[in-house]
Amino acid sequence: MRELPFLVPNEYDGIGLKSFLRSYCGISSRLMIRLKREPMGITRNGLHAIVTETLKAGDTVRVRMPEDHKLHEPLSLPLAIIYEDSDLLVVNKPANMPMYPTPGHDRDSLANVAAAYFSSKGERLAFRPVYRLDKDTTGLVLLAKNPYCAARLAAKIEKEYIAVCEGTLCGKGMISAPIGLKEGHKIQREVAVGGDRAVVLWKELEGGKGYTLVALRLKTGRTHQIRVHMAHIGHPLAGDDMYGGSLQLIQRQALHCMSIHFIHPVAKKEFDLSCGLPEDMQTLLLTCGMKKYTKTS
């Protein structure tokens, strides 16, 4: 069971434990409630503590993460692990794998595969993706192993996507257009007045035979954002037939989460992780007369 230690600094001398946990440690009110119910969930200098206590500089406060009970059915499949420690797991998700069980993919989602991996290590951990990728979008997914890290990392991950879009794009640009659910649809989105604010930055990397390789960074995180925005400006992703892309050269949207940047919520160190383009996208580039793509910076 994961325990996280926090040393009380001089500037927090005389502060209440609850305020210290909320302001300095970043413990959410929801997690605080769970910790108070956990035996030895919160300790001070090795002794059980209540949140009304007053702290002294140099005290060691420890929080014991509650045990996870809501676990997905495990399914043992290969899992491409990019990075792992006591708090985080970063994997390279393949195409045709949803994040959670869905009709047609009741047991072979990333949640099921992660459950099997954790179980093989003797760990009972819930599935906590810090962000989601579409079923056919490949690339890096960051999983938090405890609720503290999940909350601390939420909306704080910088991601770079690589995509192949139809048509010729030159230079770089920004797309700022609100996105909402398309009328009469449960999944498909569109640019719509009154939708949620959505902004994406794009940069051309290479082009050939009517296709363009682009790098994209999200300033907001809306469902299908890159796919909707690129289709909105007349350059749908290759293979994205939901938003007007052709299936002629690739059978799924040519979109890959290649790199992520974040500050580790426990170690406080900066991390830059990346993974290469999958084979179907590399083949698409060669078919279009472009070079295989490897991230250089």
pLDDT (tens digit per residue) in 249-259: 999 999 999 99
Cα–Cα distance, 254 to 238 (Å, whole number)? 6
Give the integer Cα–Cα distance in Å for 212 and 130: 29
Collapsing DSSP states into helix, strand and coil, what is residue 202? strand
Beta strands in the chain (DSSP E): 3-7, 42-44, 47-48, 60-64, 81-84, 88-93, 138-144, 158-166, 172-176, 179-181, 189-191, 199-208, 211-218, 255-263, 270-274
Which tokens go with 19? Answer: 């305020």
- The per-residue pLDDT for range 152-184, each reduced to its tens digit, is 998 899 999 999 999 999 999 999 999 999 999
- Catalytic positions: 134
Per-residue pLDDT in tens (0 to 9) along the chain, 297 residues: 799 999 999 999 999 999 999 999 999 999 999 999 998 999 999 999 999 999 999 999 999 999 898 899 999 999 999 999 999 999 999 999 999 999 988 899 999 999 999 999 999 999 999 999 999 999 999 999 999 999 999 889 999 999 999 999 999 999 999 999 999 999 999 999 999 999 999 999 999 999 999 999 999 999 999 999 999 999 999 999 999 999 999 999 999 999 999 999 999 999 999 999 999 999 999 999 999 998 865
pLDDT of residue 264: 97
